Amino acid sequence: MLYTVCHSVCSGYLCPCTPFVHTHIIRRGCCSVSLFSLGFPRTSVSERAAVDAHVFYYVVFRPFHAGLLRASGVVSTSVWSCSVWADAFLKKGRYMKSAFTLRILLLSLLLCTTWSLSRAYDFAKNGLYYAITDAEHRYIEVSQHSDYLTLTEIEVPETVTFLGETYTVTGIGYQAFFGCSNLSSLSLPQTIQSIGDKAFYQCSSLHSIALPESLQRVGEYSFHRGGFTTLRLPASLIQAGKYAFTHLQDLVSFEVDSNNPCFSAENGVLYNKDKTKLLQYPMARTVPTFSVPSTVTEIGLYAFDTCSNLTRVSLPGSLTKIAECAFWDCTNLKEVYIPNSVTEIGGGAFHYCI
């Protein structure tokens, strides 16, 4: 199963309260809203918790774990809090009917919210789950993987046949490989056009990735906290979401195809095409000083995020804007001369700098 689970003390039952790696512990009674225990309001909290955890897992999460995965953790804490409130009244033998109604409403909220906020899959094959994005043209995207905790290598196919229909894989979906910290080898087909938000978030063992020449868009946080040492952007890439390339602590340099219309690289640093905006400075670059080119008028959001090797940065007279958190956590930065041309400095631009 792809989801991360937390072991509650509900009589040893498995309670899938939490998506992915952001595991939080929910106390006894965390699943005290279920399809079964609604009929037994007079049972004890621990008895209901045990029944609920069991039924919640097998009736709701087991059949629909991929579809309900994303948002379950969002509402589980609030559901538990409200359930505790209801249990307090149940113990005193008062407001029995109101508490019973509350449980029904909470269950409805949980199911509706998880369904609406989650990303379901349509079918699975060879450990990969796929969602159909365009039924007419038979386009699909990778929704998730069946075992992200132990996944070490994966080859995404170009096409997948299911029930006699052949689909083309054109995308990597939202959080598809989120937190796959053991993933070290990845192969993407030349049909991939988009990589979703947080698709490869915290893939810390993935040191290289060959982005296909068909790739057009990467989402927010798509490679955040990855283990890449170099990252080459193809000519086809025209859009990158916020924080797509931030906090890559092993990254030494960016490379960009010279035919790319939107991005460029110089000495390993990522810029927009005409080099008027510095987008990202590689975290693992060891040179202690850096001179921003005279063409640059703006330093982007988190552009020098945690570049602890930098001690001095020279800014050009052409610069007019330093975005929010531009030099965030540059702990060894001793000297920065800000020219008079700068008219805007975002919040936290030099936060945690010495």
Residues 80 and 141 in one domain: no
Beta strands in 163-247 (DSSP E): 165-172, 185-187, 194-195, 217-218, 230-233, 239-240
Range of the structural domain that residue 36 is part of = 6-117
Question: What's the rounded Cα separation, in Å, for the pair 38 and 321?
Answer: 58
Residues 50 and 33 in one domain: yes
CA distance to 19, 98, 263, per residue, from 258 (Å) = 40, 66, 9
Residues 111 and 127 in one domain: no
- Which CATH number covers residue 274? 3.80.10.10
Confidence of residue 100 (pLDDT cuts 50, 70, 90): low
pLDDT 10s digits, 190-244: 999 999 999 999 999 999 999 999 999 999 999 999 999 999 999 999 999 999 9
In-domain check, residue 259: no
Residues 26 and 110 in one domain: yes
Residues 151 and 105 in one domain: no
Pairing of strands 123-125, 128-134: antiparallel
Residues 109 and 129 in one domain: no
pLDDT of residue 30: 36
In-domain check, residue 200: yes
Last residue of a domain, one of 117, 142, 173: 117
In-domain check, residue 256: no
pLDDT of residue 279: 98
In-domain check, residue 258: no
Last residue of a domain, one of 223, 251, 279: 251
pLDDT 10s digits, 252-303: 999 999 999 999 999 999 999 999 999 999 999 999 999 999 999 999 999 9
Residues 140 and 230 in one domain: yes
Last residue of a domain, one of 206, 221, 251: 251
For the entire predicted model, the pTM comes to 0.69
In-domain check, residue 205: yes
Residues 125 and 237 in one domain: yes
pLDDT of residue 150: 85
Residues 288 and 322 in one domain: yes
Residues 239 and 166 in one domain: yes
Closest to 29 measured CA to CA, from 14, 8, 12: 8
In-domain check, residue 179: yes
Residues 215 and 331 in one domain: no
In the chain, the number of structural domains is: 3
Residues 54 and 89 in one domain: yes
78 or 287: which carries more pLDDT confidence? Answer: 287
